[in-house]
Amino acid sequence: FNEDPSTQKRFRAGGETQAPRSLSTRAQLYERVFPQYRQPVEVGVFSLDSDRAFFNDSRQLRYYVDPGNKPSFNLRDGYRDRFIKRDDGVKERLDHILRWIIANRSKLHSTHTSSSSCTLGVDFVTWRGHLTKLLTTPYETQEGWLLAVSKFRGTLYMSEVETEAARVNRENRTERHEEMMYWGYKFEQYICADDVNGVPDRGGVVNTNEAFCTVVQTRLADHKLLFSGEVDCRDKDPRAPPAPACYVELKTSAEICTPKQRSNFHRYKLLKWWAQSFLPGVPRIVAGFRDHDGVVVSVETFHISKISQLIKNEYNCWKPTVCMNFCSDFLSFVKSVVKEDNPRVVYLFAWDPHRDVTYTVHRDSQYTFLPDWYIKEMAS
C-alpha cells in the first residue's frame, strides 16, 4: 500500500477506518514467499445453452478426444456458414454466477459456514477471468482494467467493467481479427465430443453462446474465494481424478519458428495460460499451434505444474509468486476500502499500465451491477 499519510482518505461507515488511496503494481514489491493457495474444490457446475439460457447442470460438458501430435485441422472451415457468435456487446456481469448461488444456497451454507446463516461464507464472488487479470497485472504493459466491487451481506462481489479502450478495440476489430477469434472455438470442436463415447463433429455449427462452467471455492491467504470459470472439456476416462483435476483447457497459438517467437511465447502467452488454469486447479492445457492460414501444424500438452520450470531460462521472466502476492494484496486493499454494505454502492477500482490501482465511489449509478432479483432472493 502507499503509506503517504497526506493522501489517505477517511471513511465513515460502520466506524472510522483509514484506507489506503492506491496500490502499486510494481513486480519487485511482490517478490516474497508464495502465499497460501488452498487446493480449489469444485462446489458446483452450470451450463449455458445455445440461446445463452442458464441450467444448473453439466449438459454442456464435453469430452476430450486425443487428436495426436500432427492432426490436419483447418480452423477456417465453417467461419462463413457454420458459426453463431455470441453478442459480446451484451454485458452479463455476474448474473450467471448469481443464478448458480441462488440455486445452490443451501449447499453453500451447510458445508462452508458454521455460524451466521445470512452470509454466504465467502469473502469474494467473481469470475475466474477477472482474477486472471489481477494475477497478470504486475507484468501487463498493454491493457488496463476496471473492476466494480459491491459489498452485500458481508460478501464482496467483483465484476469487470469494459474500459473505453477495450470498447473501441471491440467495435473496430478487423475482419482478419474477427475470423481469428473463431479459430479457437473451431479448434475446440475438432477436439471435443458431446458424449463420453462419441467423436468430435467437425461438420457441426460452432455456437459461442454455449458454455460449461465450474464453480470452485478456495482460499488465497486470508481471502475466501468463490469463482466460476468456463471449462473446455474433461478427460473421458471414468477413472480420471475428480474435477477440477480431470479438466482440460484448450488453446491455439501461432506456430513458433524462431528463438524470439519462443521467448515471447514463454514471457507473455504462457503467463496468461498459467494464471487462467492455475486458479481453478485445471492441470493441463492442450495447445494447437497454427500457421498464418489457420492450419494446425502441431499439438502439444502443457502441464500447469511444469510451466514455471519451463520459463526459468528466460531473462527477467514473470514469477508465479509475484502474481499471487499481488492478487492477495489487491484483495486486502479492496477489503480495506469497501466498507459500506450496500448493493447500490459500487467502488470502482481502476488500473492503467505503469500506474497505481486507484478507486472511486458511485451511489445508484450506471455501475451498480447486483440485480434486484438477486437482492430480493437473498433477503427471503
Interaction mask 42-71, Ca ion, x per CB under 5 A: ------------------------------
User: In whole angstroms, what is the distance from residue 288 CA to residue 286 CA?
Assistant: 7
Of residues 288, 197, 203, 290, the one with CA closest to residue 238? 197
Closer residue to ligand 0WD in complex, CB, 211/370: 211
**Does 329 sit near ligand 0WD (CB under 6 A)?**
no
Q: Angle 231-236-240 (CA atoms, 0-180°, nearest 5)?
A: 90
Report, in Å, the least distance between residue 234 CB and Ca ion: 13
Closer residue to ligand 0WD in complex, CB, 132/136: 132
Q: What is the DSSP letter of 355?
A: S
Closer residue to Ca ion in complex, CB, 155/208: 208
Closer residue to ligand 0WD in complex, CB, 19/270: 270
Closer residue to Ca ion in complex, CB, 231/324: 231
Closer residue to ligand 0WD in complex, CB, 19/97: 97
- Extended strands (E) in the chain: 9-12, 16-19, 41-48, 54-55, 63-64, 83-84, 124-127, 145-152, 155-161, 192-193, 206-207, 211-220, 223-230, 233-234, 247-254, 284-290, 296-303, 345-351, 358-363
Q: Which of 79, 127, 351, 359 binds ligand 0WD (CB under 6 A)?
A: 127
**Does 184 sit near ligand 0WD (CB under 6 A)?**
yes
**Does 369 sit near ligand 0WD (CB under 6 A)?**
no
**Does 210 sit near ligand 0WD (CB under 6 A)?**
no
**Does 230 sit near ligand 0WD (CB under 6 A)?**
yes
User: In whole angstroms, what is the distance from residue 157 CA to residue 147 CA?
Assistant: 10
C-alpha cell at 306: 511444469
**Does 250 sit near Ca ion (CB under 5 A)?**
yes
How many CA atoms, within 13 angstroms, populate the side-chain half-sphere of residue 351?
27
Q: Is 98 within 8 Å of 105 (Cβ atoms)?
A: no
Of residues 327, 335, 337, the one with CA closest to residue 27? 327
Q: Is 368 within 8 Å of 159 (Cβ atoms)?
A: no
Interaction mask 145-164, ligand 0WD, x per CB under 6 A: ---------------x----
**Does 187 sit near ligand 0WD (CB under 6 A)?**
no
Report, in Å, the least distance between residue 111 CB and ligand 0WD: 23
Report, in Å, the least distance between residue 289 CB and Ca ion: 14
User: In whole angstroms, what is the distance from residue 307 CA to residue 319 CA?
Assistant: 10
Residues in contact with Ca ion by the rule CB under 5 A: 232, 250
Residues lying near ligand 0WD in the complex (CB under 6 A): 86, 88, 91-92, 127-129, 132, 160, 184, 208, 211, 229-230, 251, 276
